[in-house]
Chain A
Amino acid sequence: MMMENKVYICSTGIISPQANFGKKEDFALASEYTGSSLHCIEPDYKSILDPKLIRRMSRIIRMGAAAALECMVHSEVQQPDGIITGTAYGCVEDTVSFLTKMVENKEELLTPTAFIQSTHNTVGSQIALLLKCHQYNNTFVQRGFSFEHALMDALLLLNENEAKTILVGGIDELNETSEAILKRFGLYRTNQNNLQLLTTSGKGSMAGEGASFFLLSSESSSGNIACLDDLKMLFDPNEETDVVQWIHYCLSENNLTWEQIDLVITGRNGNQQGDLIYDKLEFSIAKKTRFAYFKHLCGEYPTASSFGMWMAVSSIRENKIPFTVTSKTQSGTIRKVLLYNHDQNGHHSLMLFSAC
């Protein structure tokens, strides 16, 4: 969407398969995984959350709440005017736990905790509880657009002047059960090294997970990291040419040429079929532009674009691409970044960032 008002990204908080929680820079060495999946490196929560609460929370709630609080700590804001989360799968562990007991115990002797925490808005509402935030609170669950729709809703609120600051995040967890089910759909490779995922083209990717939060603001401040200039989505395009046309339309709407973009971050994930469109952009359309990737770092999951956004914002802040795998040599400062991601060719999104 084109915004009337500028939208600033004040701070980030992230828990991912990389050791990037709580750090502001020095993302040099990427963590290595072998197998079908990447799992989050969780921090010692005791410094962030009340130990009594930690015991009650399932993993996705801990990760989401900690990433959100971390994001708030790095901002100058005490309380946001709204909390919006995006999650495709929701609270998988609690859902599976309640379902399993229900099936095994034949609907008898069940306890409420897992059910209570199984609703998709649990992370968003736990954050509201922790921050004692009575303001706007919403949760989007639109598969590969879950995070994008949360972000869209935040941009709407900022543009309506209904809010000055919004905490927005993308969260999805991977657990043994969901991985076993997703594997049966043939989405992942076996015995794959993540650092070689993007250089060995084949069928399937690696599964991932993460919790990435951002504090957005409509007000300028010296502490702001970057601006979010545009967000666009394309749902279920018929063919590749439609996607290319749409990307060019978005660039022209922002008065941009490929040469003016310092860095393009794509959702390349190693799955040959899905990577065709990224190949087309990188090797035929925008040959001179620098490209970088992120899914070898966080794995593939429906809200992975939120990790991509962290990478885009961090690249602008550090003038360096975190855990870099880049195709073309770096030159000049990183001021304008385009993030393009698609989820199984159905949900395509573009985000445009710039230095403030």
Chain B
Amino acid sequence: MHSSDIFVTGIGVISALGKDVNANVHALQSGESGIGPITRLKTIHRNVFPVAEVKYSNEELSHFSGMSDEISRTALLSVIAASEALEDAEIHTDSGLRIGFVSANSVGGMDKSEDFFAEFLSDHSKGKLRNIVHHECGSITELAAHYLGIHHYVSTISTACSSSANSIFHAARMISAGYLDVAIAGGVDSLTRFTLNGFNTLMILDTQPCKPLDENRKGLNLGEGAGYVVLVSEAAMNKIGKKAYCRLSGYHNANDAHHQTASSPDGIGSFMAMQGAIAKSGIRKEDIGYINLHGTGTQNNDQSEGTAILRLFGDALPKLSSTKAFTGHTLGASGGIEAVFSVLSVANGYVYPNLRYETPMKDLPLHPVTSFQIDTKISHVLSNSFGFGGNCSALLFSK
């Protein structure tokens, strides 16, 4: 079993930057952040915290996806990005291939559950059941899978903010082990009052657009969206005939085992995840051209991740940046969205700017890229995803 046998032949994304890969790339190239005031989510925090909302109503998303506008926004976002990825990979779900759909999310159909709860709490016989029936994380994935016509293997992973990195590499291992020919893997989350208020209690939301890696960073901005890659075995790729963007050459999952929400000061989990992914791919760490950071903009994450990177790479740092200053922190979707950006980085040499970076962190000499670049020498890109519960995962994409 060699992970080098896994190829990426399709990508799909929807985020605050736009509803497809082209719109996202355009915004990344022109430095247009998706972060702004809350306009859709019904919350008392509307004029307090900026977020990275997908700029379409549920009715519009329903129109793009062909699904009912009454179902969870999470399922709508999932179907739109997954459909784009499938189409890009030139895969028809009735082609006889063994296709898997491995999606991640952190709160399932919570956008509907919180509406249900408002009515249910006053009277347990109240609240529309159709608003709670898809509360489960797995239910969102099944809704999307049914719509896409995938039944062979449908799975959901929920490890907070590292969820979709884990779904991508579980899918890769299912292909390596010979159980699947093709997998659409990534994740999704929509903005909810539950997560906005939750992160607010942790006091890690910035009231301004976030500044990842900056000494004066004050926290993260939440975002929403979905991102998927299509992974195929070599045999399936040859059969389908679609050229690959790159390979998924390495991956690793480790646990920080430090605290339920905080990352360890030495970033042991992040360090092990990156080191493991590089070891799995068999390349030298010097060969890595770009790291798409987890880079949330919180004091804790950026300090911990930065420490791990300096320990691993020393003075020979690859180019690095966080794209969360564009997309916000999309939680269960972030690993999927950033995998799409990383795939494009390997395929086209894209290096994305770390917006709003001004002042280097004291004691951590990391200097992220601040303008969009095309560096065709890049052959290997690392994508980091870390989450609550100490869940740390890294993916490595290679030419």
What is the interface of chain A, defined by CB distance below 8 A to chain B?
1, 83, 88-90, 98-100, 102-104, 106-108, 110-112, 115-122, 124-126, 128-129, 131-143, 145-146, 149, 153, 156, 159-160, 180-181, 184-185, 233, 235-236
With contacts A135-B255, A138-B159, A181-B120 taken as known, whether A115 is within 8 angstroms of B198 at the C-beta atoms is: yes
Please state if A156 and B260 are interface contacts (CB–CB under 8 Å): no
- Docked complex Cα distance between A140 and B157 (Å): 5
B129 touches A (CB below 8 Å): yes
Question: B261 contacts which chain A residues (CB < 8 A)?
Answer: 112, 116
- Docked complex Cα distance between A233 and B152 (Å): 9
Q: In terms of DSSP, what is the predominant structure of the interface of chain A? A: mixed
- Docked complex Cα distance between A153 and B153 (Å): 13
Please state if A142 and B129 are interface contacts (CB–CB under 8 Å): no
Please state if B389 and A111 are interface contacts (CB–CB under 8 Å): no
With contacts A125-B255, A135-B254, A135-B255 taken as known, whether A106 is within 8 angstroms of B44 at the C-beta atoms is: yes
- Docked complex Cα distance between A336 and B151 (Å): 30
B316 touches A (CB below 8 Å): no
Question: A108 contacts which chain B residues (CB < 8 A)?
Answer: 44
Task: Name the distance in Å between B136's Cβ and chain A's nearest Cβ.
Answer: 6
With contacts A102-B193, A156-B173 taken as known, whether A138 is within 8 angstroms of B253 at the C-beta atoms is: yes
- Docked complex Cα distance between A19 and B260 (Å): 30
Question: A98 contacts which chain B residues (CB < 8 A)?
Answer: 194, 197-198
Please state if A122 and B202 are interface contacts (CB–CB under 8 Å): no
Please state if A156 and B174 are interface contacts (CB–CB under 8 Å): yes
Please state if A99 and B194 are interface contacts (CB–CB under 8 Å): yes
Closest to B115 in A: A103
B137-145, B230-238, B288-296, B321-329: which lies at the A interface?
B137-145
Question: A149 contacts which chain B residues (CB < 8 A)?
Answer: 155
14 A-B Cβ contacts within 8 A?
A: A83-B255, A100-B117, A110-B198, A120-B158, A120-B160, A121-B158, A121-B391, A131-B257, A134-B257, A136-B255, A141-B136, A149-B155, A159-B1, A235-B154
Question: A110 contacts which chain B residues (CB < 8 A)?
Answer: 197-198, 200-201
- Docked complex Cα distance between A107 and B198 (Å): 10
Closest to B262 in A: A116
Task: Name the distance in Å between A194's Cβ and chain B's nearest Cβ.
Answer: 24
Please state if A119 and B113 are interface contacts (CB–CB under 8 Å): no
- Docked complex Cα distance between A119 and B174 (Å): 25
Please state if A111 and B155 are interface contacts (CB–CB under 8 Å): no
Closest to B173 in A: A156
- Docked complex Cα distance between A54 and B179 (Å): 41
Closest to A233 in B: B153
Chain B residues bordering chain A, tally (CB within 8 A)? 64
Question: A159 contacts which chain B residues (CB < 8 A)?
Answer: 1, 177
What is the interface of chain B, defined by CB distance below 8 A to chain A?
1, 43-45, 106, 108, 113-114, 117-118, 120-121, 124-125, 129, 132-133, 136-139, 141-142, 151-160, 166, 170, 173-174, 176-177, 179, 193-194, 197-198, 200-202, 253-261, 268-269, 272, 387-391
Question: B391 contacts which chain A residues (CB < 8 A)?
Answer: 121, 125, 137-138
Task: Name the distance in Å between B175's Cβ and chain A's nearest Cβ.
Answer: 11
With contacts A112-B202, A160-B1 taken as known, whether A103 is within 8 angstroms of B388 at the C-beta atoms is: no
- Docked complex Cα distance between A117 and B44 (Å): 23
With contacts A107-B197, A138-B253, A235-B154 taken as known, whether A99 is within 8 angstroms of B136 at the C-beta atoms is: no
Question: B133 contacts which chain A residues (CB < 8 A)?
Answer: 185
Closest to B160 in A: A119
Task: Name the distance in Å between B158's Cβ and chain A's nearest Cβ.
Answer: 4
Task: Name the distance in Å between B114's Cβ and chain A's nearest Cβ.
Answer: 6
Please state if A141 and B389 are interface contacts (CB–CB under 8 Å): no
Task: Name the distance in Å between B78's Cβ and chain A's nearest Cβ.
Answer: 14
Please state if B137 and A90 are interface contacts (CB–CB under 8 Å): yes
Please state if A116 and B388 are interface contacts (CB–CB under 8 Å): yes
Given contacts A120-B160, A135-B254, 20 further A-B contacts (CB under 8 A): A1-B177, A98-B197, A100-B121, A102-B193, A103-B117, A110-B198, A119-B160, A119-B388, A121-B160, A121-B388, A125-B389, A126-B260, A131-B257, A140-B157, A153-B170, A159-B177, A160-B177, A184-B125, A184-B129, A236-B151
Question: A102 contacts which chain B residues (CB < 8 A)?
Answer: 114, 193-194, 197
Most buried by A among B45, B137, B170, B389: B389
Please state if B177 and A129 are interface contacts (CB–CB under 8 Å): no
With contacts A103-B118, A156-B174, A160-B177 taken as known, whether A138 is within 8 angstroms of B157 at the C-beta atoms is: yes
Question: B256 contacts which chain A residues (CB < 8 A)?
Answer: 134
Please state if B120 and A121 are interface contacts (CB–CB under 8 Å): no
Residue in A115, A138, A139 whose beta carbon sits within 8 Å of that of B202 in the complex:
A115
Question: A156 contacts which chain B residues (CB < 8 A)?
Answer: 173-174, 177
Please state if A122 and B254 are interface contacts (CB–CB under 8 Å): no
Task: Name the distance in Å between B331's Cβ and chain A's nearest Cβ.
Answer: 10
Please state if B257 and A128 are interface contacts (CB–CB under 8 Å): yes
Task: Name the distance in Å between B181's Cβ and chain A's nearest Cβ.
Answer: 15
Please state if A116 and B118 are interface contacts (CB–CB under 8 Å): no
Minimum-distance CB pairs A-B, first 8: A125-B389, A115-B198, A120-B158, A112-B201, A143-B138, A137-B255, A141-B137, A142-B138
